[in-house]
Amino acid sequence: MGWTTFSARWPAAVGLVTSLLLGGSAALAGGSFLLQIIDEDTDQPVPARVTVTRADGRPQIVRRVIPSGVGFVVEGEQRLSLPNGAFQFQILRGPEYRKITGNFSIDRDASDSHSVTLPRMVDMAEEGWWSGDPAVTAPRRLLPLMMQSEDLHFVGRVGEDPQTQIRLDRPLPQIRSDTGDGDTGDGDTGEEAPAWGPLDIRTDLVADTNGLLLVGTPEHFALPASPVSSDTIRAGANAEVEAIVIENPFAWDLPIWLASERIDAMFLQGPWLRLDRRVVAVPDGRPPSKVGYRDELGPGRWAEYVYWQVLDSGLRIAPLGGSGSTSKHHPVGYCRTYVHPPRGTSPGAARSFSPQAWWRAALAGQSVVTNGPLLRPTLGGEYPGHTFHATAGEALEMSVELNLSTRDPVEYLEVIHNGNVFYSARLDEFAEAGGVIPPLRFENSGWVMVRVVTLHEEHWRAAVSAPWHVVFDQQPRVSKAAVEFFRDWLQDREQALAKLPPAELSQHVPYVRAARTFWQDRLDAATDP
């Protein structure tokens, strides 16, 4: 006689443990069981991502499943075949659901079934926040199911579509992708499967190898065959693309790209934050120029610091979080962007976001970027991305208000004003203060962001709002120190370029000279130290 022992649990704070002993019939090589994942709110099967490891922590390969970077997708229910032994598992569905963890063992030829209930922690869409990943590379045929397993609504798909061959016990479901052309996302049409929210896959994106992403490229657009990264920006501008995005905020050419004044958005969280391995340094970019950024938390913290210098230079560039066009083996939507329509949007539009509205809001910075915590902040009653205007002699006083949900222990909550920490508190301190943050007083132009940082140790796990801007007399804040930061970066880049052969160097020279002029003009126009 064979059996499967199955124990599932929520995190300890939730306080629920269930344990089953399931009967089965015997053999010697292993067994299988039917796993069903149920949404607690709807009482219906729901796609989710599952990881299985052996008792010693090593990942266990499971055959005939759809891989999802770390783990695999279970489409509501699926039979899993495994060898004899003891195993640990996790069931996840994006950051809005609680994580289910547990263990099971298979002895002889177990053949059983088990149902696990997956509770939702918060419904961000119900509150008007819609999730998206602006750059993924997953196969188009599998992407709709991957999106649903991560509770992800909008994606931008980059790259060629490889022929992915996966043997399953049954065909892939016909899941509609709301692309506007009736495409189901796998090259076929048919009966619609149950929907868990809007699902849109955008494909008019092109990425180069240097860290630039073009959004809204025309049909048959081709990247220039050039070793000069800025030629990508020129080609995008000539083609009147919808947006030019910096995927690699560490790139050596970053100050040259920023000087083009063509950049619309920049990745604040990306493929340097990985679940499958630790990243302590990004190989294709400038290393940190400050101490304290060279451990597992370093790349994430360094990307934020660089972005603060962008804002302090007076540049209005939106932050994004996503998988990135170089991430091949990672769950879609681990780093993601939540957007919210501005105040005054009709309730109907807020509850049913269109793809056009999502991308417009994301590229306008009406957003929160996260790879974990679910932060919903306002400043003066306005969502991120809003600009407050005033005139000299006035003073604006506004408070940050927020809702926060998280599966991870939180290390601290901070309000950042012009690159400096205005308010910082542990979560218990914040709660003891009644959830009230002291008001900010503005007498000059500047910007504000809110971030929540967790105690996750393997990499930087945080939620960061896009900035609110405060502008007095139509004059943005420009910090001399931030401009010098990018001038130093540009100088280091020039020293490296000087080693190139003359013919190749000459292709870079016009862009470098333009960047020198741009940053000198910024320095001359600086309004703050």
- Residue 7's alpha-carbon distances to 49, 101, 116, 325, in angstroms, are 18, 8, 10, 38
Task: Compute the average pLDDT of residues 397-403.
Answer: 96
Q: What is the pLDDT of residue 342?
A: 79
Q: What is the pLDDT of residue 124?
A: 95
Please tell me the distance from the alpha carbon of residue 366 to that of residue 316, in angstroms, as a whole number. Answer: 12
Question: What digits encode the pLDDT tens for the residues 159-206?
Answer: 876 555 555 554 554 444 433 333 333 333 333 444 566 789 999 999
Q: What is the DSSP string of 207-248?
A: E-SSSEEEESPPTT------S-THHHHHHHHHTT-SEEEES-
Q: What is the pLDDT of residue 350?
A: 59
Q: What is the pLDDT of residue 147?
A: 95
Contact 265, 214 (CB under 8 A): no
Predicted TM-score of the model (pTM): 0.90
Give the single-character DSSP code of 515.
Answer: H
Judged against a pLDDT cut of 80, whether residue 135 lies above it is answered with: yes
Q: What is the pLDDT of residue 99?
A: 96
Rounded to 10 degrees, what is the CA torsion of 51, 55, 59, 64? -60
**pLDDT higher for 349 or 336?**
336
Please tell me the distance from the alpha carbon of residue 180 to that of residue 251, in angstroms, as a whole number. Answer: 35
Which range, of 324-333, 356-365, 471-480, averages the lowest pLDDT?
324-333
Judged against a pLDDT cut of 80, whether residue 237 lies above it is answered with: yes
Mean pLDDT for the chain? 87
- The dihedrals phi and psi of 308, each to the nearest 5 degrees, come to -60, -40
Q: What is the pLDDT of residue 284?
A: 86
Q: What is the pLDDT of residue 111?
A: 65
Looking at domain 372-477, its CATH class is mainly beta
Please tell me the distance from the alpha carbon of residue 507 to that of residue 73, in angstroms, as a whole number. Answer: 47
Q: What is the pLDDT of residue 349?
A: 61
Question: What digits encode the pLDDT tens for the residues 87-109?
Answer: 999 999 999 999 999 888 887 66
Question: Do 372-477 and 2-118 have the same topology in CATH?
Answer: yes
Q: What is the pLDDT of residue 116?
A: 93
Which range, of 179-193, 371-385, 442-456, 474-488, averages the lowest pLDDT?
179-193
Contact 398, 442 (CB under 8 A): yes
Token representation of residue 84: 């004899």
**Residue boundaries of the structural domains of the chain:** 2-118, 372-477, 483-524
Question: What digits encode the pLDDT tens for the residues 21-75?
Answer: 223 332 335 677 889 999 999 999 999 999 999 988 888 989 889 999 899 999 9
Superfamily for domain range 2-118: Immunoglobulins (2.60.40.10)
Q: What is the pLDDT of residue 8?
A: 59
Q: Percent of the chain at pLDDT above 70? A: 85
